[in-house]
Amino acid sequence: MREGISEALCPRRLGGHRSRPPCSRRRNVVSVQCPYCDAQAALATGAELFPRLPELAEKRYWVCAPCDARVGCHAKGAPVSIAGGGRRISDGTLPLGRLANAELRDAKRAAHEAFDPIWRDGHMARTTAYSSLARFLGIRLDECHIGEFDYWTCKEVVRFAKTLRLPASES
Ligand SMILES: [Zn+2]
């Protein structure tokens, strides 16, 4: 479980939105910190985490076992926007967001279930839906990613969707 994290421990790599993280020179080294206990998360494969889901076997995840917190990674080869601008190609270990424990994962799922139909069912363009949500939350549009939200912000997303009083979705 601890393989892959031994070389470059850089706790400031995640969380800070500074334009040049201290370890940005080491482009192939990703280090991820657990937001619950501050420990270094460890890389795991889908095969290890979800042995019954062979379709996830090749995927990589960052995991903090004591917190039951985890986050998936951008697929290998995917272009990923990085904080401060620019892009890099994922080596398969760039996290999709922060680690989430079971409670937060449920809250994010509920937020997506409430919010996604707004644009998916054509009530608004996707960009309009996200800019309306950002205004509701009082954050910038480029900060408006449900994958990055904490538990209470996810609850606010559900509240935002309710204020629109959309007809109930079939899905
Ligand atoms: Zn933890």
pLDDT tens readout for residues 91-139: 999 998 889 999 999 999 999 999 999 999 999 999 999 999 999 999 9
Q: Cα(62) to centroid of ligand 1, in Å? A: 11
Asked if residue 31 belongs to a domain, the reply is: yes
Instruction: Give the 3-state secondary structure percentages of the chain, helix then strand then coil, rounded to 5.
Output: 35, 15, 50
Q: Are 72 and 129 members of one domain? A: no
Q: Residue 83: its pLDDT value, please?
A: 74
Instruction: pLDDT band for 169, please (50, 70, 90 cuts).
Output: low
Is 85 found in the same domain as 16? yes
Task: Give, for 163, the enclosing helix (H) or strand (E).
Answer: helix 151-163
Lookup: tokens for 137: 């939350």
Separation of 43 CA from ligand 1 center, angstroms?
Answer: 13
Segment 144-153 shows an average pLDDT of 91
- Give distance in angstroms: CA of 117 to centre of ligand 1: 32
Q: What is the pLDDT of residue 29?
A: 65
Question: What pLDDT score was predicted for residue 114?
Answer: 97
Please tell me the predicted confidence (pLDDT) of residue 9: 38
Distances (CA, A) of 66 to 36, 44, 147: 10, 14, 21
Q: Are residues 125 and 55 in the same domain?
A: no
Range of the domain at 6: 1-99
Instruction: Give residue 81's pLDDT.
Output: 82
pTM greater than 0.85:
no
The yes-or-no verdict on residue 3 having pLDDT over 50 is no
Residue 139 inside a domain? The answer is yes
Residue 170: inside a domain, yes or no? Answer: no
Are residues 12 and 61 part of one domain?
Answer: yes
Residue at which a domain ends, from 99, 119, 149: 99
Tell whether 15 and 35 lie within a shared domain.
Answer: yes
Contact predicate 37/74, CB 8 Å: no
The total of structural domains in the chain comes to 2
Return the higher-pLDDT residue of 29 and 146: 146
Are residues 82 and 1 part of one domain? yes
145 and 92 inside one domain: no
Centroid of ligand 1 to alpha carbon of 70 (angstroms): 9
Task: Tell how far the Cα of 103 is from the centroid of ligand 1, in angstroms.
Answer: 13
Q: Which of 83, 99, 115 is the last residue of a domain?
A: 99
pLDDT tens-place string over residues 33-88: 999 999 999 999 999 999 999 999 999 999 999 999 999 999 889 888 877 888 88
pLDDT of residue 161: 96
Evaluate if residue 168 carries a pLDDT over 90: no
CB contact set of 133 (below 8 Å; sequence gap of 6+): 115, 144, 157, 160
Q: Is residue 69 within 8 Å of 86, Cβ to Cβ?
A: no
In a domain, 94, yes or no: yes
Tokens 């079939």 identify what position? 170
| Residue 73 resides in a domain | yes
